[in-house]
Structure 1
Amino acid sequence: MQNQPPPEIELVEHDGEVTLSIGGEQAMQAWERDLMWASADMLCEYGHDFYEVGLGLGLSALRIAGNPATRSHTVLELFGEVEDLFRARHPELPDTLAIERGDFFRRVFELPSESIDGMFFDPALDMEVWTDKELWARTMPEVVRVLRPGGVFIPFFSTRPELRWQYTPHFRRIRVERHPYVAYESTAYTYGTSGDAYIQCFLKD
């Protein structure tokens, strides 16, 4: 994935809407705040040391880092431009927050076993990555390896009430919470611009 030419990345603010655009696609929008905060708060119920894949607008990163339970929170971001945009808006960061650069599908193999209590997963990925069964079959056992017993893996919310096939074979227990949402009229990556969103929390035994 890092061998591909870097996409154009920009922060678009228009008519009260805030959109992080990567390669001309809506990667994240500011209306997601309450859902990202709910996901972050759930993650922080399970320990003190956390890892996040994909910085985006930094909504969840700042929420996790600012939680009283958090001892350390590391965010892995692939694109330097995304980090630059975030730091321009947030020049002073919590001491608990560290931002690293790298490709998760390589980095996960380097992370120490049982080193974190929870991982929040919200990277901007192409559809060919999401549908690559062999890639997920290689990757998810590594995610489980990195989690401490009782730790959790929380991917970004879904606006469909269905468990994600990429993750379900690797966990026995799954916690799901339903939250209402209202997106922008321009939002293209949800199933409808309002309704219910589902936060899925996969627990390691």
Structure 2
Amino acid sequence: MTGSLHPGKDSAGGERTAEERAKTPEIELIETDGEVTLSIGGEQAMQAWERDLMWASADLLCQHGKDFYEVGLGLGLSALRIAANPATRSHTVLELFDEVEELFRDRHPELPPTLSIERGDFFQRIRELPSESIDGMFFDPALDMEIWKDADLWSASMTEVVRVLRPGGVFIPFFSTRPELRWQYVDHFRRVHVERHTYQAYDTTEYAYGTTGNAYIQCFFKD
């Protein structure tokens, strides 16, 4: 997911309470002229053209274990791909908004047995997850821009992410259409693998740097 909800598929305050973050904006699935868009608060949160990039991210994640966690359900493209991978034993998706899950379940009433969806706020839930409990995390939440700019919040939260990962585990955020490592994550890992992929967005896409070009998938390793 992205738009002003993301720092850079591609756009980038103080920490708000979970109650403030959980106030539900207008959420709708827009299907017009062959385009599929998940809109949150009037912003393009995710679009179906991202499928190949989401699948590539999911496949990369699944090379590094069997128990996975995902933040942000969106259209469920990566969630279903991870859950269906033969290597996957369990995949849990954390979603903040009821409406996003409802839209997903309307389109996918039967889920793989490896997939579970839970409700919650990432910045709270990450502190509750057991240490060294997952092999990999895919990170693609819809967040307000001031959250992306909060350095103290990211420092504390990414410390928790590293704690939750098993040794050798990986953290993969949503792709970027700029060739730069994201400051929110990079200081917490010593080793990073980057893959370059091409992409073709919709003509109406507002959140990428151009509607065609290169996208970069970043995979951060816990030593």
TM-score range, shorter chain: over 0.9
Q: Residue deviations 1:37-64, cap 9 Å, x none?
A: 0000000000000000000000000000
2:171 maps to 1:126? no
CA distance in structure 1 between the aligned counterparts of 2:79 and 2:199, rounded to whole angstroms:
20
Residue from 146, 159, 176 that aligns with 1:141: 159
- The partner residue of 2:213 within 189, 195, 198 is 195
Written as runs of structure 1 = structure 2, the 5 A alignment for 1:46-85 is: 46-85=64-103
Q: Give per-residue Cα distances to partners, 1:110-161, cap 9 Å, x unaligned.
A: 0000000000000001110100001001100000000000000000000000
Using the size of structure 2 for normalisation, the TM-score is: 0.91
Residue-by-residue CA offset, 1:12-52 (whole Å, 9 max, x unaligned): 00000000000000000000000000000000000000000
CA deviation profile, 1:58-95 (whole Å, cap 9, x unmatched): 00000000000000000000000000000000000000
- Determine whether 1:156 maps to 2:179: no
Q: Which residue of 2 aligns with 1:3?
A: 19
Of structures 1 and 2, the one with the larger relative CO (CA 8 A, separation 6+) is 2
What is the Cα deviation at residue 6 of structure 1? 1.2
Task: In structure 1, give the amino acid aligned to 2:110.
Answer: E
Aligned residues with identical type, % of pairs: 80
Deviation at residue 3 of structure 1 after TM alignment: 2.4
Q: 2:5 — aligned with what?
A: none
The equivalent residue for 2:44 is 26
Uncovered stretches (5+) of structure 1, i.e. residues with no partner: none
Letter matched to residue 182 of structure 2: R
Q: Which runs of 4 or more aligned residues in structure 1 lie more than 4 Å from their structure 2 counterparts after TM superposition?
A: none
CA–CA separation in structure 2 for the residues paired with 1:24 and 1:149: 40
1:172 paired residue number: 190
Unaligned runs of 5+ in 2: 1-16
